[in-house]
Amino acid sequence: MPITRTATLDLHLLARITNLLLPATLVVTLLAGLLISFYFHFLTVALLMLNLLNVAYLFVQRRHTILRNFGILGQARYFM
């Protein structure tokens, strides 16, 4: 009898990690822009927009529960 394995993905854990890593990468790119090269600030601006969008989804969003619970990752369901 063959053994089948299913790959599972914990979306709550992935959303929690994403919500922690977005501000951290923003700070890292901001410091890289100040210390290494000015061109890192282009990435900083993009990450700032993603952080603002994530905050809006997590704290302001009231109509869509998937966006409220998962933030940026909730948008991935529209791409599938």
Q: Is residue 74 part of a domain?
A: yes
Backbone CA torsion sign across 70, 19, 36, 42: positive
User: Which residues form the domain of 42?
Assistant: 11-79
Asked if 74 and 64 count as a contact pair (C-beta separation under 8 A), the reply is: yes
The count of structural domains within the chain is: 1
The model's pTM is 0.72
| Local structure of 70: helix, strand or coil | helix
**71 in the Ramachandran plot: left (φ > 0), alpha (ψ -120 to 50) or beta?**
left
Q: Is residue 2 part of a domain?
A: no
Per-residue confidence (pLDDT) for residue 32, from 0 to 100? 94
Q: Is residue 18 part of a domain?
A: yes
Q: Which of 25, 29, 13 is CA-nearest to residue 73?
A: 13
Per-residue confidence (pLDDT) for residue 53, from 0 to 100? 86
Q: What is the pLDDT along the chain (80 residues), one digit of tens a residue?
A: 677 777 777 778 888 888 888 899 999 999 999 999 999 999 999 999 989 988 888 888 778 777 777 777 777 777 76
